[in-house]
Structure 1
Amino acid sequence: MRTALRRTALSLSALTLTTAGTLSIVSPAHAAANFTIPGVCGSSYYEVHSETRSGYNKTSDGWGTVIYIKFGYSPSTGKNCAFVQKSTTNYSYGEASGLSIALRRKSDSAYAYNGGSFKYYAGPVYLSAPHTCISADGWDDWAGSWSTGWYACG
């Protein structure tokens, strides 16, 4: 009986260590650094464009990438998707701060917007834009205002 109890206790200890190890691998900060178009917009979306914006950040020289802007498209929904993500060197990464994105349609200036105080990213925003271009613009506390120009024209 004692042997059975000891084995059970050892098994539970191993399970606890395994679970704790798994949780540390998939921590929110680690997961946030790997946002993708299919992960944020939906599995039917693929990336059509991405770019970065610089600003004052945590690197040794104080200047570098602070946000990533990502565009996606889904043939099954016919919609474009976009979001803006803080880089891990952004001073406010993991802390709520001002961040916004607006996805615009060139043909009639219609737009979808998401803004507020976010820890990791703003969006996703969705917009149908058949046979016209899309652009994104927004704000980040460390990059200031930004605009991408027109993409996905077709």
Structure 2
Amino acid sequence: MRISRKIAAAGALTALVVGATAAFSTTASAAPNVTPQDVCGSGYKTVNSEPISSLGTVYLTYNSSNGQNCVATISNSPGTVKYMATHIEVPDTTERAVDAGFFRSYAGPAYVFGRGHCVNWGGTIDWAHVRVDNSNCAALKEHRVTEIR
């Protein structure tokens, strides 16, 4: 009798551990509800964004305490591995940052120093690409381009 109780308890504990592990690993790998601040950091505020077709959004964030811009491309359907990229550059300097590859939820962060400068930034998810030029500066008119391949 005692042996069967021990076996039943061990089986229940094993089922509980396996179930909890499956639940937590699904949540962690899919990374639902990711925000630009999750990707870039808590000091970054979203200052601009652009949808990438219906697939997701690329976000431009800025940290006023350090003068850094950050971009993150976030998928609307996390969990499935897909090609994603994010990029940012300061046209009047040589500073540029890119993050690209096959990701489940987001590409980024990519950082550049942007205080007092216009920035060009964008993102890609699968077959759709968005580029925003001359962004977040008063002197130049912003130019947005969406390409679907």
TM-score, length basis structure 1: 0.66
The verdict on how the C-alpha distance between 1:25 and 1:114 changes in structure 2, with shifts beyond 3 A counting, is closer
Distance in 2 (CA, whole Å) between partners of 1:128 and 1:42 is 15
Which aligned pairs between 1:1-154 and structure 2 lie closer than 5 A? 19=20, 23=24, 26-29=27-30, 31=31, 33-54=32-53, 65-88=54-77, 94-97=80-83, 99-108=84-93, 110-143=95-128, 145-153=129-137
Distance in 2 (CA, whole Å) between partners of 1:119 and 1:18 is 22
CA shift at 1:133, angstroms?
1.3
- Structure 1 alignment gaps of length 5 or more: 55-64
User: Does structure 2 retain, via aligned residues, the 8 Å contact 1:66–1:142?
Assistant: no
Distance in 1 (CA, whole Å) between partners of 2:99 and 2:18 is 40
How many residues in Structure 1 have an aligned counterpart in Structure 2? 135
Q: CA RMSD in A?
A: 3.3
User: Corresponding residue for 1:61?
Assistant: none
TM-score, length basis structure 2: 0.68
2:34 maps to a residue whose letter is F
Q: Percent identity over the alignment?
A: 29
2:105 maps to a residue whose letter is Y
1:132 maps to a residue whose letter is H
